[in-house]
Structure 1
Amino acid sequence: MIADLLKRLLEPSPAILPDEDARLAMCALLVRLARADDRYDDAERDRIDRILRTRFDLDPGASQILREQGEAMEAEAPDTVRFTRAIKEAVPLEGRAGVVESLWQVALSDGERDAEEDALIRLAANLLGVNDVDSAKARQRAEAKL
């Protein structure tokens, strides 16, 4: 499954991913963000699990499995651009600010703002077509949820 998805992400013009693969791409992006500061702790794992449960209506076991698959994919994955392209094609514009909000939730879950995480969120938001104002609003919503 992961190898097949990675292969499709590496294609020059990949087809729109099925929902399950788009979920995995989003999860891998969340994991990549959590690992951006070279510290991937329990608070970030817990936050990712909660985001997955809420966003995709998963039970705790299913969200943990998806996160573990996302961890494996992130470790083998190509650049961030391919994740965001897959998400952009699968998520309508109005839903992409929610993806950025999820990224902010993970970034802020350890109680510290980190330059590497901020840079990755800016890149992902830009690639997803989410402007700076909407990204800032997403950050504020994420802060309110913590």
Structure 2
Amino acid sequence: MLERLLSLFHADKTTTTLPEVDARHALGALLVRAAKVDRAYLFEEVEEIDHVLSHMYALNPVEAAKMRARCEKLEVAMPDTDTLARVLHDAIPMLERETAVQSLWSVVLADGMERPEEDDLLHRIEATLGVSPERALELHDAAVAQAQHL
């Protein structure tokens, strides 16, 4: 009986509901992964993720923050970046994939620094999404220019 009572106290702590792995949540999880890849998940990056989600999916700030929180759980649960990127590749057209790449760069650049591990991760994602290296460079440069104007 004591074990049953104790299990009731621990049930809420161990139960985590993950969001569906659709294109929206896959992109959100990739945004979180891009922000965390340098082992520093900074406020500026969180703020940019919320901005991207709000803009792309017409969410108000609270809805965007809630979606980001769900995507953070998904990012932890899905260790394979390529799987998340393939969900996007299969679900959205090329123009939206390019927008996703530019959004990923905006998150990476939100803290004012670009690190090699961030570059490596984004180049892997770009390749999985089918974005050519030339086009990826254009999207990167556009994100850098936008970050410098903020």
Aligned to 2:35: 34
Residue 62 of structure 2 is aligned to residue 46 of structure 1: no
Please say which structure displays the higher CA radius of gyration. 2
Task: Give TM-score, length-normalised by structure 2.
Answer: 0.83
Call closer, same or farther: CA 1:99–1:3 in 2, change over 3 Å: closer
Shift of residue 3, structure 1, vs aligned partner? 6.4
Letter in 2 for 1:68: A
Identical positions, percent: 34
In the superposition, relative to structure 1, how do residues 120 and 48 fare at CA in structure 2: closer, same or farther (>3 Å)?
same
Alignment partner of 1:138 is 2:139 = yes
Residue type at the aligned position of 1:44: E
TM alignment of 1:1-146, pairs within 5 A: 2=18, 5=21, 21-146=22-147
- Quick one: distance in 1 between partners of 2:20 and 2:137? 35
Cα root mean square deviation, aligned: 1.2
**Which TM-score applies when normalising by structure 1?**
0.85
Runs (4+) of structure 1 exceeding 2 A deviation are none
Q: Map Cα deviations across residues 25-52 of structure 1 (whole Å, 9 max, x no partner).
A: 1000010111000000100000000011
Query: Aligned residues, how many?
Result: 131
State the Cα deviation string for residues 50-107 of structure 1 (Å, max 9, x = none): 0111111111011000101111111111300110010011110122111110110011
Residue equivalent to 1:9: none
Letter of the structure 2 residue corresponding to residue 79 of structure 1? D
Specify the SS of the correspondent of 1:112. Answer: coil
